[in-house]
Each structure stands twice: as C-alpha cells, then as structure tokens.
C-alpha cells in the first residue's frame, strides 16, 4: 500500500471513530432524557394518586358532616318547644289539684323523653353556671356586680344554649358577674 491509500484509510477510520463518538454522546443524552421523562411520569402518577386519595378523604368528610348536621334545622326549630315545656314547669302558681299535678307530670315526662331523643342525635345543652363566660358559647344578656362569684363568670342562665356534634346551634343567654366596686 502506498502512503496515499494508508492516509485515506486512516481518514476513513478517524471519520468513523468521530462519528461513533458522536453517536455514543447522542445515545447517552437520549438515555438521560428517557430517565428524566420516566421520573416525570412517576411524579405525575404519585401526585395523581395523592390527589385521588385527598378527594376520597374530603368526600368522606363531606358525607360525614352532611350526616352529622342533617338534623340541624329540624332540631333548631324544636328548641322553642323545649324552652316552652321547661318554662311551663317553672310556674309555681299551679293548684294542688291532682288533675293539674298529673298534667305537670305528663309535661315532665314529655320533656325528659324529648331531651333524651335529641341527645341520641348528638345534641348537648349549655346550662352550667359558675363557669367562665365563653363568647363562642354564651350570649351575655346582663352584667351584675358580685363579690361572691369571680369576675366574668356566669351567674345565671336565662335560656339554655345547644350544641349539635360540637357545632353551636344556639348560644346560651346568660347573666355575667362583674367585680363589685366598693365606695
């Protein structure tokens, strides 16, 4: 072989080596792109599964709350009936007639069964005295000076409040204490 052929052959070999190196680099870059795309697909899959789980959880909570508070309006409308029954029992001016006494006993039993019934559905009453005033559960109707009860404590409940499954239906109307000012 002469020098020209050898140079030609070397040039061809070098050309194919360079071409091969460029193709190896391109293959490497394509493999990296494939890895990135696979990672993006995996991230999208995880986010989608997470979102689906969040939707399920929110739906479950919405259904649970709808069930818990489905009776809210009905019970709220029932509260004046309970108030009237309680007020009728507070009357001290009824006669000692056995007929009236039996009516009052009937009212007591009706009120007791009504309170038992609403308690089954998650209703609790706010009726305690000598506790600190809580504006999220109480509505102050009056303030009275007192040296016996701590300041800002409930002295008397004028009208019971009610809570349905930890949600306030109606605040209790109360009288709150104030420190007595000595002159």
Q: Which domains does the chain have, with CATH numbers?
A: 72-179 (2.30.22.10)
Q: Which residues pair with 145 in a beta bridge?
A: 178
- Which pLDDT tens digit goes with each residue over 94-153? 666 677 778 888 889 999 999 999 999 889 999 999 999 999 999 999 999 888 888 899
Could you count the other beta carbons within 10 Å of the beta carbon of residue 180?
A: 13
Residues 118 and 78: beta-carbon distance below 8 Å: yes
- Kindly tell me if the per-residue pLDDT of 52 is higher than 90: yes
Residue 100 CA to residue 48 CA, distance in Å, equals 69
Q: Which of 8-22, 31-45, 52-66 has the lowest mean pLDDT?
A: 8-22
Pairing status of strand 161-164 against strand 138-146: unpaired
Q: How high is the pLDDT of residue 94? A: 62
């Amino acid at each position: 072989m002469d020098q020209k052929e050898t140079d030609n052959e070397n040039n061809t070999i070098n050309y194919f080596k360079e071409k091969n190196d460029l193709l190896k680099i391109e293959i490497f870059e394509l493999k990296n792109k494939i890895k990135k795309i696979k990672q993006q697909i995996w991230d999208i899959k995880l986010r989608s599964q997470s979102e689906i789980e969040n939707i399920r959880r929110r739906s479950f909570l919405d259904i649970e709350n709808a069930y818990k508070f489905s009776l809210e309006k009905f019970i709220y409308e029932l509260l004046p009936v309970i108030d009237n029954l309680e007020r009728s029992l507070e009357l001290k001016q009824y006669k000692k007639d056995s007929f009236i006494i039996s009516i009052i006993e009937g009212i007591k039993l009706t009120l007791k069964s009504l309170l038992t019934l609403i308690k089954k559905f998650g209703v609790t009453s706010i009726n305690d005295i000598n506790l600190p005033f809580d504006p999220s559960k109480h509505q102050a109707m009056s303030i009275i000076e007192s040296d016996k009860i701590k300041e800002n404590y409930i002295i008397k409940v004028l009208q019971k409040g009610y809570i349905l499954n930890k949600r306030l239906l109606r605040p209790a109307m109360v009288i709150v204490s104030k420190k007595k000012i000595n002159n």
